[in-house]
Amino acid sequence: MHAVLDAPARTWLDEAVTAIAADPVAIRSAFPTARRRCGHARLDEHWTVDEAARAVLLTALPLHGGALIGEVARLHRHGDPAEQRAVLRSLPLLDLGDLALPLVREALRGNDTTLIEAALGPYAAVHLPDAEYRQAVLKCVFHEIPLDRVAGLDTRADHELARMLADFAHERIVAGRDVPPDVPPLVRAFPDVIGDELAELGEEFAALREEPARTEQQRKEKA
């Protein structure tokens, strides 16, 4: 983090961390100013500089349990969307257990795609209950948020999610609309969710449904 900051920004961040460690209330003034002090260039595909700086500030809080989530929730409640994204992205770095789920749920109830994406990071992948996780993935599909930005899909995608996505694909095809390209790969693992109507309407889904039989036939031919 320090490597991408200029000298004044590094000094400000170090002083802010020291102040927060001595008095947690200091984060209330430092957190909103991080963007102006440190900039907002993109660090990588997940983080911007201001989000990372705010994560550093959050991890400096000398609080635990209820006191920690109380301060984090306050920052989220009073923050602008950029500050809320920083809070959501920082959740995996904080020892909060399930206490931060209300913040994730609040973001998922809204329609700000940047907040939805930030909410579905590693924290949600670990803590969000199955039914809510599935609904969140489906919301991403509705809002055209690429599913490769959703943490945990490789382990949390299940039969019920595949069924929901197959139903969604059927509705899209009937309406004459394209199915997002990241839907079929998730359905592929559970071809039995592809009904006759979907197979008839969508050639790609028909192929997916027939794939296990083809694979078995190829295996027999090689045996």
pTM: 0.88
Residue 2 DSSP symbol: G
Mean pLDDT throughout 126-137?
Answer: 98
E strand spans, the chain: none
Q: Which of 88, 166, 158, 167 is nearest to 127 (CA)?
A: 88
Mean pLDDT throughout 177-184?
Answer: 90
pLDDT digits (tens, 9 = 90+) for 5-64: 999 999 999 999 999 999 999 999 999 999 999 999 999 888 999 999 999 999 999 999
User: For residues 120 and 104, what is the distance between their CA atoms, to the nearest angstrom?
Assistant: 8
What is the predicted pLDDT for the residue at 198? 79
Q: Quote helix, strand, coil % in the chain, to nearest 5.
A: 75, 0, 25
What is the predicted pLDDT for the residue at 202? 64
Identify the residue with better confidence: 223 or 184. 184
User: For residues 127 and 104, what is the distance between their CA atoms, to the nearest angstrom?
Assistant: 10
What is the predicted pLDDT for the residue at 107? 98
